[in-house]
Amino acid sequence: MNADFKIYTKTGDKGETSLIGGTRVPKYHERIEAYGTLDELNSFIGVVRDHDIDAETREFLCWIQDRVFTAESLLAADPEKSTGTLPLLYDEDITKLELAIDAMNTTLPELKNFILPGGHPVVSFTHVARCVCRRAERLTIKMVGNNSTTLQGELVIRLLNRLSDYLFVLARKFTQDKNAMEVPWMPRK
């Protein structure tokens, strides 16, 4: 790392931060909440990836992390300012998630009840990632609904919706891979 580069800038000491493009907003701004939650999601996906899992899934999770980082940059950009060249999301990204979900589902038992998260650490962390993904989706829906100038906002929402489904099915796959028990939720009568 360059010795002249400092990780701290001190520009956020008064509770504001900059969007891509330079616009200053409060750190509690809905845009910051949305892309900050995507950053949290990306970190949890990294935790899942760091477990003892198959190489193909690990590689796919790296691809997902790249897409999540792309979504973060799109939400962090002020579309009314010059943002340079940002990476984009494509419909093919959603299709790739759907195909992965379908492939995993072919090996899983039919789901007849809700299931309780747990059974193995990688299963639990995958469920945590799924929950963070759902929160990111809700925050992004709110932000896009309040701000029609979000770059690719509708596509980010679709990606997050499908990603949360993928993470749910992945947790079930890990349950099977680790010979863990899938505990159905049986509501009291």
Short-list 35, 46, 36, 26, CA closest to 156: 35
Task: Please report whether residue 165 resides in a domain.
Answer: yes
Q: Is residue 117 part of a domain?
A: yes
What mean pLDDT is reported for the chain?
91
CATH number, residue 168: 1.20.1200.10
Name the nearest CA neighbour of 89 among 162, 152, 37: 152
In a domain, 186, yes or no: no
Q: What is the pLDDT of residues 146-180, one digit of tens each?
A: 865 678 999 999 999 999 999 999 999 999 999 99
Q: For residue 53, is it within any domain?
A: yes
pLDDT value at 75 more than 80: yes
The reply to whether 164 falls in a domain is yes
**Residue 25 forms beta bridges with which residues?**
17
Where in the sequence is the domain holding 40, given as residue range(s)? 22-79+89-180
Q: Are 150 and 84 spatial neighbours (Cβ–Cβ below 8 Å)?
A: no
Evaluate whether residue 6 is within a structural domain.
no
pLDDT at 28 over 60: yes
Number of domains in the chain: 1
Indicate the helix (H) or strand (E) that contains 105: helix 91-105
Evaluate whether residue 112 is within a structural domain: yes
- Please write the tens of the pLDDT for every residue from 100-157: 999 999 999 999 899 999 999 999 999 999 999 999 999 999 999 886 567 899 999 9
Q: Confirm whether 84 is domain-assigned.
A: no
